[in-house]
Chains A and B, each alone.
Chain A
């Protein structure tokens, strides 16, 4: 771990309840859901992590609490260092506070996560769908959202599958 990163990790773990892990050189802090904004603000203001290149989520369905992990990748332009944060999000009430006040770029990243995972960002200024059309049902990147393959019909099971097929108005 490099010096800047070590200072930041020490500074954050002395103040907040975080778990530090390292995999292939990427340092990740597992942070409590409620403190995500405070931790981001501390890293931004005090430790020079001035930009947020990565913000996404991972779905661990069928596990329910936590069902999701929010992943934040913070970057320090001066030190050329990445620091990753993970915040657990519960499956029944997928809520987390937005980090938009600290990093403006979170605005669209969070809209994307809301669109594709259905995680609600409290305090977000403009929580609309980003990729899918407005009015779309469901959140496609959830693991319980089907990929949408059509079943292959053969002569012996043609009628059986035909009954199950959704009949849209075309």
Chain B
């Protein structure tokens, strides 16, 4: 085991004010094992009294080399690793990867699979926002919201378990469609969730939206404006709370999401409270999408029939020699997309989740890069936090909704 070096003040002096070196200001380490950092985020804060002058985020404590590992696996096997990045939006990670593979090959997806994908990713967004609303209220001292939101999150987890057998790491979305068709109870479970949720969101709002303690901790805190967001490439609810209605689902629609009727909620203040309002409104919009997609869930196959890339149905393997050969080749060697590089993006609950995929014509991806929304969000701390009190830091971190697995990969 190599010895791990610690930063010296000398290495960081270009990021601190000159007063730090004379000892006039205090350099304080927050995290990585701090309950309010939502994972293992380390912040090096320069403080003048209780006021933050400089903030240096340090990530990498969850780095697992997923991009490197994916290069040594076939396209199908590499997908399993993508769930493990953003553990609150696992289906979306699968979807971004599958869209990239499909774009590389030019593989069509049947409408039923598209609708199922939309339902699952929008449920994923609601589920992620539920975890966010619970934990961020918990950080600000409101304990009860967490218990309620986790109760509703369980309903989404049950739906995931029903369709894939797994609560979180589903790998249900596969290149060319989904793993297999949804079970018969699926519609009923989703319908029940859609019916219950609007009332439950009202409940969360009654606990927080007009709560004066919550307002004091969130209004006019952690402001960021649109030009700064764009320059630092901050996307998602943080950008929309600042006032720009940009959403990948509207700008570059995927999975036929353009056929559903939904709005992009925006606010103008760009503070912690606006981000809260945007996310709550987004949950309602996502419910609208899920409802519409469920109502007109088309019948038909749930994955493309193309044995060169997609494993043939089990029923065919016993009676057709070609299917048996295709199946064997796909599970031993994998499929080989044409050489080239593509980029696809989906809207994650945190912003734009993009996949850059390069193929050299072989059966393993030559290079996979996940453009994750958390990295720009964390890097923007250095512009958001200066001037705030250290107690506001907690509310800013929680409002940004960062997932360190997403940032570190």
Contact = CB atoms under 8 A, between A and B. Distances in A.
Interface of A: 23-26, 28, 50-54, 56, 58-59, 71, 73, 77, 80, 82, 84, 103-105, 107-109, 112, 116, 125-126, 128-137, 140-141, 145, 147, 168-170
Contact of B106 (A24, A54, A104): A24
21 contacts: A24-B106, A50-B231, A53-B352, A53-B371, A54-B354, A54-B369, A56-B356, A71-B356, A73-B371, A84-B343, A104-B231, A108-B379, A125-B14, A130-B59, A132-B60, A134-B4, A135-B4, A136-B2, A141-B67, A145-B68, A170-B1
B14 to A, nearest CB: 7
Interface string B317-354: 00000000000000000000000111101000000101
A140 B231 contact: no
Contacts, number: 110
A128 B4 CA distance: 15
Given A133-B5, A135-B5, 19 more contacts: A26-B341, A26-B343, A53-B352, A54-B371, A58-B366, A73-B371, A104-B231, A104-B233, A105-B376, A105-B379, A107-B379, A108-B379, A128-B11, A129-B60, A130-B60, A131-B409, A133-B60, A134-B4, A141-B67
Interface in B355-409: 356, 358, 366-367, 369, 371, 375-376, 378-379, 408-409
A33 B15 CA distance: 28
Interface of B: 1-7, 11, 14-15, 59-60, 63, 65, 67-69, 72, 103-104, 106, 230-233, 235, 244, 246, 251-252, 340-343, 345, 352, 354, 356, 358, 366-367, 369, 371, 375-376, 378-379, 408-409
B341 A131 contact: no
A26 B342 contact: yes
